[in-house]
Amino acid sequence: MAKNIAEQIVEMLENANVKRIYAVTGDSLNHLNIAVKKSSIEWIHVRHEEVGAYAAAAEAELDGFAVCAGSCGPGHVHLINGVYEAHRSHVPMLVIASTIPSNEMGMDYFQETNTIKLFDDCSYYNQMITRPEQVQRTLQTAIQHAISKKGVAVIGLPGDVSELDAEEATTSNQIFKTNPVIRPSDEELNHLAGLINDSKKVTIYCGIGAEKSNAEVVELAKYLKAPVGYSFRGKMAIQPNNPNEVGLTGLLGLPSAYHAMHEADLVLLLGTDFPYEKFMPLKNKIVQIDESPERLGRRAKLELGLTGDVKETIKALLPLLKEKTDVNFLNQQLEFYEKVKEHQLTYVKEFGTEDNIQPEYVAHTLDQLAKNDAIFTVDTGMCCVWGARFITGTGERKMLGSFNHGSMANAMPMAIGASLAYPGRQVIAMCGDGGLSMLLGDMATIFQYKLPVKLIVFNNRSLGMVKLEMEVGGMPDNETDMINPDFAMIAQAMGYPGKNVHKPEEVAGAITECLNHDGPYLLNIFTNPNALALPPKIEFEQVIGMTKSMAQLMLGGKMEEALDTVKSNYKHIKELL
């Protein structure tokens, strides 16, 4: 019996080493679903397509490629947020968008969407299959685009086409995972070496593009007596075994990295597309090295922009450099970093009070108790702050989040993908109450597939980052409060343990119990809603804005809430100023 197109697609996915497809099945996807059932690929039945896209994005970041699918109309629209996440994070992912019968296209048919228009802004490749002879060429090209350009490829698949008899193509079905060596020219390297050799104070700042270059970055930093800062995405790779590290900068960063960049004569940006222009130095020389030349110079005024793999570029650059002997600049930055870390620990040592546990203490305790190879996922907002500042890179740990797209509700879905991809690893989702609430239904997916995911809910009963943004902008926060369900009871209803933590003295024991449990577990920790997450550089206008918002709260009759916020934040603001 001849195989149909759905079976042909699945066979090609098997040959591309695809292990699973994340999807909610539906009419136009049914033939693909049945083809998967007869294959070695696992169909992961999520409750919401957005969760499937997030989970696939996490798997793709950890493993290099993943697949999700959605059926016609609403299934496509539900996918979009997670697809944007994968594309903006530059992870290779294939989206199979099954759609309405091909003879009904353009007729305003039930659940009709135009997949080309819908996915155009969040993909590198986006085509519709309408004939059997297209299938192998289109799918091979889609996967080749995803892995080579590091982003999303989409194939539209009408339900009626998927059941047609397959035809063999004359072109290649093989997927080519190339690994070229890219570095600047000798002339460019000599120019760079001259800039470095002529600069007394050099600071290195690394992003996710330097994640495979830890040893080379450390060697370069030692040779140049240079402090090393890093982005949030770069932290897990660049922090370990790095005696010159001074933390991260940006909205979630620390004053030490900000200071090191601004006090240097020369800043080397390695593999980072750092988005926060206001945190970038203006008066010193900046060199950017990136795999993608189109990113050069769009965040800062550059002295020099070079295209190259960070590891290979450093290896070629080192023989051209003169070793620096003056350690004063480096020692000053390291000394300042020690003071910043000491200041951070004051919040850890404060613990908090009943139902107002300091989230810094929770994150620090989690960091101490988690395994050295744990995979963390963090919700966008305050959980990102606590993850950035308190979860330590070991060289084996990973941290996933919506760092570029900045979407809520990503931590739990990403933990699903991470746990399926690495069933032997400890997977910890640092969830905000707002984020978890948004896609709550897929807690059931965790139970259905018996995934040992640990959900740590930082329950501050508010949209904490939005509340802070409003206060800093001089507005009293409005409609950021959340009246939450009992998340622990919901976990129990889903089929696994859930526990509420109200007191600081319960935190360490509860986290230990959670991490040691053989299976999924949810900890609902009632954290301080007024815990402050200010950037490393505070503008005077931000202080004025917060003062205005506190005054408006008082005038509006919320005296107690305003005073609690002031007490919680005064010391932090004073020290940063």
Helix (H) or strand (E) holding 329: helix 328-350
Output the CA torsion sign for 452, 458, 459, 463: negative
Sequence-distant (6+) residues with CB within 8 A of 242 are 214, 217, 218, 221, 228
Closest CA to 307 of 291, 324, 288: 291
| Residues paired with 431 in a beta bridge | 457
The pLDDT profile of the chain, 577 residues, written as one tens digit per residue, is: 689 999 999 999 999 999 999 999 988 899 999 999 999 999 999 999 999 999 999 999 999 999 999 999 999 999 999 999 999 999 999 999 999 888 778 888 788 899 999 999 999 999 999 999 999 999 999 999 999 999 999 999 999 999 999 999 888 888 999 989 999 999 999 999 999 999 999 999 999 999 999 999 999 999 999 999 999 999 999 999 999 999 998 777 788 999 999 999 999 999 998 777 777 888 899 999 999 999 999 888 999 999 999 999 999 999 999 999 999 999 999 999 999 998 888 888 888 999 999 999 999 999 999 999 999 999 998 899 999 999 999 999 999 999 999 899 999 999 999 999 999 999 999 999 999 999 999 999 999 999 999 999 999 987 666 666 666 667 676 667 778 999 999 999 999 999 999 999 999 999 999 999 999 999 999 999 888 755 555 444 444 444 444 454 444 455 455 445 545 554 544 444 4
What's the half-sphere exposure (Cβ side, CA atoms, 13 Å) at 335?
6
Q: What gap in Å lies between CA 207 and CA 31, rounded to an integer?
A: 42
Q: Which of 260, 289, 280 is nearest to 193 (CA)?
A: 289
CB 542 within 8 A of CB 471: no
Backbone angle region of 36, left / alpha / beta, with phi > 0 → left and psi within -120 to 50 → alpha: alpha
- 125-137 b/e with 16+ CB inside 10 Å = b? bbbbbeebebbbb
Amino acid code (one letter) for 406: G
DSSP 3-state of 300: coil
Name the burial class of residue 283, with classes exposed (0-12), middle (13-18) and buried (19+) by CB atoms within 10 angstroms of its CB.
exposed
CA–CA distances in Å: residue 42 to residues 10, 36, 499, 502: 11, 7, 32, 40
DSSP 8-state code for residue 139: H
Count CB atoms within 10 A of the CB of residue 322: 11
* Domains contained in the chain, CATH given: 5-162 (3.40.50.970), 186-334 (3.40.50.1220), 351-576 (3.40.50.970)
Give pLDDT, residue 132: 95
Which is it for strands 375-378 and 398-401: parallel, antiparallel or unpaired?
A: parallel
Identify the DSSP state of 324.
P
Q: Which helix H or strand E contains 378, and what residues bound it?
A: strand 375-378
